[in-house]
Structure 1
């Protein structure tokens, strides 16, 4: 019993040190989530001096005035021409999404009513601060903030297919004498990999053709293979990316046609309340602008500071005693080829699924989003525990097998995020990752020879398998 407790604590410690601890240092703070208010205030409309129509500076998954996705780019001009010029002259590979879409519930066979409920509850939502407000912006871009708190929606309630092509409503006002109404996007554009990291734009054209404005919401996101969802990482990097591409359009005067206007919609994700406004109404066919050399376009921080894993490693090293180092040295002497094979297999599966999804999406047009996910997700859901059990069954010590499996999965998760350029995770994602790391470690411990002396169906194996199934099933069903 004492040995079993030590092994369980070792697996939990591995999950916390390699996943939970570093992630919690950089995860969104819970004090940014505000409670829902009973009364919904009248939304303030953003309008311009030379137009009668306007828009509310948020998008929503439902036709309610909850502050979700902040509008962060406004273009004065024709929608078709703007998006054509963006695709032709921007440095990105902007194109309309071509994937078909489905909810994660389709994998688990929910009936129509349950699927509809998931679609209603799902949202590509951003966490919001309690002091967020709406704004009415004139020509000077100055807004007036009002209070409007929201009910937070956890990121894992977002069906993964809704990140590409899902309906988001904009609230637009045609002007005097007409009622404001909710409308769906005019067009969507994306740049990047569907199963990797990408930038995503939703554009909404003015209800009055003569007003010639397009409100846009752009954000960066990545695909999460453990939850089968696209996850929004933020809006600031995507806004800068789109801003630079718009400035690259011939005829745009960077000094005269590009400005920042304050919409007072800060708070969701890393939105600061300032939107980019680009005037393309006077842009003519001209020589391309010479953009400033050395402009930063990457996603990485590049500040030379130590990453979270390096900081944790240094802190642990400073606290180790000589006796601790002797124990670690003895443990290192127990390392066998099977440990290395187990670690390499776990790393290969996790990173292979990521690379395989991107490669299949790029090269095989006949495979739909359904088919690619159905083909590769079993490697995560079944391939990881089965291969772990098969390889760990050749190991003698339960502790070594457990730490190797859980540690390798944690490292694979960090490498996957590093390849994507993701450095901030929501708290519920951190918890989900810690649970799968613990579950895989228990499966490995239950497969080791010392654990199977009396029976192969021992407590470690049963607990690990049950935890693995419950965590993945609970995630797909929206409970985690």
Structure 2
């Protein structure tokens, strides 16, 4: 008994060590090198010698009037709270860029901010555009612009667009407008992210893929006359390489061409070049469409459901055949054999219930959030506030209340594997294939803590004198692991 308890305690200590190790995992450096091989002056999020000023960062030229842009976004109006790099610049105002993205023939972008103005000369919505548009919310991010007229100033995003769901996975755009009416430009920060229930915010997984998606969408617009890459030296975060897509737009009248002309590429590029560029981005868009689009009922889906039902019926029939005599059907024998089989053991039933409940819990919370989002799309904080207590408390209740009998190691394994399967299935449901290593280590520590809770739950009901100290320690460990990503970051 003492050796078993020592093994469990060792696993808990291992989880704590891994948790502490997450603090030592180096974050992605923001330092990049420009085309001449020199190091840029953009440092990490915090400067060693105090807060940064405009003289400490690198600005890049945008537009024809000589405006200079800090090619990053920031949580606050400060260079020290850097978040993500700008990866697209379009020579046009945000309203026009919005019109090009929304009213393209295969537009799937959703608006996350209601503050926009219609670009009167752009193509109006048509019946062919099948894109549900609804208002949502997004955190404010800022960038810095140095202009010849007004000097340096911090600007907030003009609007936000997203392709996907807030509580699932999406491609998220923030648009920043600048310049004069006759020489306007729009800086875009594009990234893919997913809603993380442990962090209660979005986790960014890619920058390069969404950049290619927006490129593809704009390449198919007849008013786009040129798309090129320019070195902004703002790479080094996730998969950003420091090369920014610069899109040049022609006169707005080009977008009012007849429908048959919308299929023709712009004259500045050959049809082959434009088609090749769009094809390179198609896999990312196809993945986004399957991962981010709302679930639909198709013939294939119905066929899969029928196949599952058929397998279930065959399995039940096979089970019945095993317990049935060759000379005929004797339900009394079947019932008697089931009564004395492992399926009738309450310990086995509780083990299966614990595994299935923990495996299904992350998926149920995710599905409920997506369902609420479709009903109240503009109140994500309300939805998160309603579901987070379930996400945080339900695993503890299940792990403490269900274990009965068997050995503690078995319940540790059931809780560890069951919740681990649920977390992996949750990622698979929103098609998230890449997550930061520190998040993987944190989730491993969470699984260890949940396994320890299951062991405590089993001992609590098997022992004549329940150990409240062990239960309190296990619950405190769980609370610590939940608070870690919320307040200290992971």
TM-score over 0.5 for the pair = yes
Secondary structure of residue in 1 paired with 2:79? coil
Q: Which runs of 5 or more residues in structure 1 are unaligned?
A: 100-162, 301-333
Matching residue of 2:239: 270
Choose the corresponding residue for 1:64, options 78, 84, 87: 78
Q: Hey, what's the Cα distance between the residues in 1 that align with 2:459 and 2:378?
A: 42
Matching residue of 1:346: 358
* C-alpha spacing 1:399/1:92, structure 2 compared with 1 (3 Å): farther
Aligned residue pairs, count: 372
Task: Determine whether 1:288 maps to 2:288.
Answer: no
* C-alpha spacing 1:203/1:347, structure 2 compared with 1 (3 Å): same
Moved more, 204-213 or 416-425: 416-425
Give runs of ≥4 in structure 1 deviating > 6 Å: none
CA offset digits 1:408-452 (Å, max 9, x no partner): 112211221222232333344234322321221111111225863
Secondary structure of residue in 2 paired with 1:180? strand
Secondary structure of residue in 2 paired with 1:206? strand
Secondary structure of residue in 2 paired with 1:422? coil
Moved more, 379-388 or 452-461: 452-461
After TM superposition, give the deviation of residue 48 of structure 1 in Å: 4.6
Task: Determine whether 1:228 maps to 2:187.
Answer: no
Choose the corresponding residue for 2:90, options 75, 80, 94: 75
* C-alpha spacing 1:207/1:455, structure 2 compared with 1 (3 Å): farther
Matching residue of 2:152: 180
After TM superposition, give the deviation of residue 344 of structure 1 in Å: 0.6
* C-alpha spacing 1:43/1:219, structure 2 compared with 1 (3 Å): same
Matching residue of 1:129: none
CA offset digits 1:62-92 (Å, max 9, x no partner): 3333453211001112321220121111635
After TM superposition, give the deviation of residue 95 of structure 1 in Å: 2.4
CA offset digits 1:81-114 (Å, max 9, x no partner): 2201211116352122169xxxxxxxxxxxxxxx
Q: Hey, what's the Cα distance between the residues in 1 that align with 2:355 and 2:12?
A: 15
- Residues 172-321 of structure 1 correspond to what in structure 2 (within 5 A)? 172-175=145-148, 178-253=150-225, 257-282=226-251, 284-285=254-255, 286=257, 287-289=261-263, 291-292=275-276, 295-297=282-284, 298-299=286-287
Matching residue of 1:328: none
Q: Which runs of 5 or more residues in structure 2 are unaligned?
A: 31-43, 115-135, 265-274, 289-345
Matching residue of 1:442: 452
Secondary structure of residue in 1 paired with 2:4? helix
Residues 28 and 236, structure 2, Cα contact 8 Å, conserved in 1: no
* C-alpha spacing 1:352/1:274, structure 2 compared with 1 (3 Å): same
CA offset digits 1:320-366 (Å, max 9, x no partner): xxxxxxxxxxxxxx99333222111001111111121112211x238
Matching residue of 1:370: 381
Task: Determine whether 1:38 maps to 2:53.
Answer: no
Choose the corresponding residue for 2:398, options 381, 387, 399: 387
After TM superposition, give the deviation of residue 193 of structure 1 in Å: 0.7
Residues 438 and 464, structure 1, Cα contact 8 Å, conserved in 2: no
TM-score, length-scaled by structure 2: 0.68
Task: Determine whether 1:94 maps to 2:63.
Answer: no
Q: Hey, what's the Cα distance between the residues in 1 that align with 2:63 and 2:449?
A: 59
TM-score, length-scaled by structure 1: 0.69
After TM superposition, give the deviation of residue 281 of structure 1 in Å: 2.9
